[in-house]
């Protein structure tokens, strides 16, 4: 338990500092490289530096994150996308007595480390109070769903996305999807690479440097994997 708390504090502080600092830098993009997401920026703009709005917006996601971590050990992407940026914003504005502190990467990084450490440790330790029978139920519910998710949902989702994106996307996703299914027993990587190649062919043509190098690179990669898996007759 002490080990878990200790490690959670480190992880939370590091990830929280990065996420909050990156979020503050988003206000200065594109001149400054920020990180977070457009969704996060939009949501933070909606709260507009009001500490109570930022805090209550983050609080709403604590409960759903708690559900995810208790059931499946994942803190959910809401921790770094929503809770840390918004709570850091709330506490920066209050703590530094500066209404614009949430746009200041230095102040946000410091506050993010503290918020991250507290939130991650709280959520991680919460999960360890769950009885083993409950954890067993969760794993019995989740495991079959996870198997289906990897195959066939994952490849089908990318395949459908490729087919509906256009002629070139669908063509290359189908070619490489089939090969990937044979070579790697899952079509998803092939469909994803097919989408990238298809986009390149659509934008710059089949004979462009970019399309040819991508095709060669992916073909070589598949060939190597097939060789090491013993699927080639030599």
Partner 1 sequence: MNSKIEKFFMSESAFIVLMAMICSGVFAGSSLFLEYRVGFLNGVSISVMLEEAVKTGVYTALIGYTGGFLFARILEGPLVGILDIGGGVMTGVGGGMPALFLSMGLDVLIKNFWVSLIVGALIGIVLSCIILVIRKLMPNGYGTMGTEIMVGAGNTIGTWFGPMLLISAITFDLYAGLGAMLGAVICHRKKSPIIGGITLGAMIVGYVAYLLGLTTLGIGV
Q: Which of 86, 124, 174, 211 binds partner 1 (CB under 8 A)?
A: 124
Q: Which long-range contacts (CB under 8 A, 24 or more apart) does 97-104 make?
A: 99/49, 100/49, 102/24, 102/44, 102/49, 102/54, 103/24, 103/27, 103/28, 104/24
Q: Output the smallest distance, CB 125 to partner 1, in A.
A: 8
Is residue 161 within the footprint of partner 1 (CB under 8 A)? yes
Query: Restricting to residues 196-225, which ones interact with partner 1 according to CB under 8 A?
Result: 196, 198-200, 203, 210
Distances (CA, A) of 130 to 133, 164, 179, 183: 8, 44, 44, 41
Query: Restricting to residues 136-155, which ones interact with partner 1 according to CB under 8 A?
Result: 136-138, 140-151, 153-155
**Contact present, 196 and 178 (Cβ < 8 Å):** no
Q: Which of 46, 52, 130, 224 binds partner 1 (CB under 8 A)?
A: 130
Per-residue binding letters, 3-42, with partner 1 (x by CB under 8 A): -x--xx-xxxxxxxxxx-xx-xxx-xxxxxxxxxxx--x-
Is residue 176 within the footprint of partner 1 (CB under 8 A)? no
Query: Restricting to residues 40-59, which ones interact with partner 1 according to CB under 8 A?
Result: 41
Counting residues that bind partner 1 (by CB under 8 A) gives: 107
**Contact present, 76 and 69 (Cβ < 8 Å):** yes
Is residue 109 within the footprint of partner 1 (CB under 8 A)? yes
Contacts of 28 (CB under 8 A, 6+ apart): 34, 103
CA distance 80 to 91: 16
Q: Output the smallest distance, CB 233 to partner 1, in A.
A: 21
């Amino acid at each position: 338990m002490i080990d878990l708390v200790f490690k959670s504090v480190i992880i939370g502080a590091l990830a929280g500092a990065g996420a909050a600092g990156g979020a503050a830098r988003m206000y200065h993009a594109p001149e400054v490289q920020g990180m977070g997401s457009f969704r996060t920026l939009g949501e933070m703009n909606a709260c507009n530096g009001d500490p109570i709005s930022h805090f209550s917006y983050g609080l709403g996601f604590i409960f759903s994150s708690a559900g995810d971590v208790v059931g499946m050990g994942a803190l959910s992407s809401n921790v770094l996308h929503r809770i840390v940026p918004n709570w850091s914003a709330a506490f920066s504005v209050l703590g530094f007595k500066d209404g614009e502190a949430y746009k200041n990467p230095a102040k946000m990084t410091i506050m993010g480390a503290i918020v991250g450490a507290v939130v991650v440790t709280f959520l991680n330790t919460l999960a360890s109070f769950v009885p083993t029978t409950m954890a067993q139920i969760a794993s019995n519910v989740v495991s079959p769903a996870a198997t289906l998710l990897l195959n066939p949902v994952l490849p089908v989702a990318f395949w459908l996305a490729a087919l509906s994106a256009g002629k070139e996307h669908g063509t290359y996703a189908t070619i490489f999807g089939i090969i990937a299914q044979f070579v790697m027993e899952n079509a998803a990587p092939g469909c994803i690479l097919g989408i990238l190649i298809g986009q390149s062919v659509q934008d710059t043509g089949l004979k462009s440097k970019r399309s040819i190098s991508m095709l060669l690179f992916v073909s070589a990669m598949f060939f190597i994997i097939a060789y090491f898996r013993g699927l080639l007759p030599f």
